[in-house]
């Protein structure tokens, strides 16, 4: 009987952790990798899921990647394969708060859900 109640509770907890995303769960990864998702693109500006809590500063440049499903036959493998493709570069123009920053698109075809990674 207890296990029937435990499963929904664990599913809820896992769902909550996933939803917390860039707000808290990814904090440690951001500090060392300084990587975040493109949240919105409007003309030559974009918003990143990277903020002051991760050490973001105006002027930092990020390479933007897109993960693309690799075509071709995948024998004996049930999971799809993806490749990481460079699609452009952005530069932080303003750190909005501890979780988000506004950036200018310097070049490329940047889209929502692409991933930005700090140039080191």
Q: What is the DSSP secondary structure assignment for residue 114, as one 8-state letter?
A: -
Which parts of the chain fold into alpha helices (H)?
A: 2-20, 27-33
Q: What is the pTM of this model?
A: 0.67
Compute the distance between CA of residue 95 and CA of residue 117 in angstroms, rounded to an integer: 16
Compute the distance between CA of residue 116 and CA of residue 50 in angstroms, rounded to an integer: 9
> Mean of the pLDDT values across residues 75-92?
84
> Mean of the pLDDT values across residues 97-113?
96
CATH number of 2-118: 2.40.10.410
Q: Tell which wins on pLDDT, 112 or 81.
A: 112
Compute the distance between CA of residue 97 and CA of residue 56 in angstroms, rounded to an integer: 10
pLDDT for 8 beyond 70: no
pLDDT for 29 beyond 50: no
Q: What is the dihedral of CA 12, 18, 22, 27, to 10 degrees?
A: 90
Quick one: which of 33, 92, 38, 47 has its CA closest to 65?
38
């Amino acid at each position: 009987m207890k296990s029937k109640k435990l499963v929904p509770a664990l599913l809820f907890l896992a769902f909550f952790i996933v939803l917390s995303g860039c707000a808290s769960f990814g904090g440690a990864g951001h500090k060392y990798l300084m990587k975040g998702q493109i949240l919105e693109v409007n003309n030559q500006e974009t918003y990143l899921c990277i903020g002051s809590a991760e050490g973001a500063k105006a002027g930092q440049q990020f390479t933007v990647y897109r993960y693309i499903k690799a075509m071709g036959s995948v024998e004996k493998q049930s999971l799809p394969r993806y490749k990481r493709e460079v699609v452009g570069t952005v530069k932080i123009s303003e750190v909005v708060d501890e979780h988000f920053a506004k950036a200018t698109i310097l070049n490329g075809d940047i889209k929502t859900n692409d991933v930005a990674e700090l140039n080191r």
